[in-house]
Amino acid sequence: MSDDERAIRELVSAWMEASARGDTARVLELMDEDVVFLGAGRQAMRGRDAFAAASRAMSGSRIEGHVDIQEVVVSGDWAYCWNQLAITMHPADGGQPTRLAGPALSILRRKRDGGWVIYRDSNMVAPIAP
């Protein structure tokens, strides 16, 4: 495994851990300023500020998740990572959790300091039966 692939796998792990802790500041560090998130049935979410606003709207909710990395390919300063996700969203009001699963494909780019950030993300998770 190359150093770049290892770094990208560590980024994915850091994202999942920070999300579970509710650490939005850390999650924001892992994405490009101009990040775009795509998802079925919703408008594209553009930029860190939009992500931060969506996170604030979910304040008090808890996220548990598991990621199974299927593929990481690096080509120069660009890479993509295909993941299979399983997520449980616990609402702040204590209501029934929502379980989601599905694939996600992220495009990453290398920053000037050599680190990697998520540049584009297409997340196709959908609710699964209880």
* Residue 5 CB contacts under 8 Å (≥ 6 apart), including other chains: 72, 74
Is this model's pTM higher than 0.75 or not? Answer: yes
d(CA 26, CA 23): 6
The H or E element containing residue 119 is strand 116-123
Single out the residue of 97, 113, 116, 90 nearest to residue 13, CA to CA: 116
130 residues of the chain, pLDDT tens digit each: 999 999 999 999 999 999 999 999 999 999 999 999 999 889 999 999 999 999 888 877 889 999 999 999 999 999 999 999 999 999 888 889 999 999 999 999 999 999 999 999 999 999 997 6
Can you say how many angstroms the Cα of residue 26 is from the centroid of all Cα atoms in its chain?
12
Domain ranges for the chain: 3-127
Class of the domain covering 3-127: alpha beta
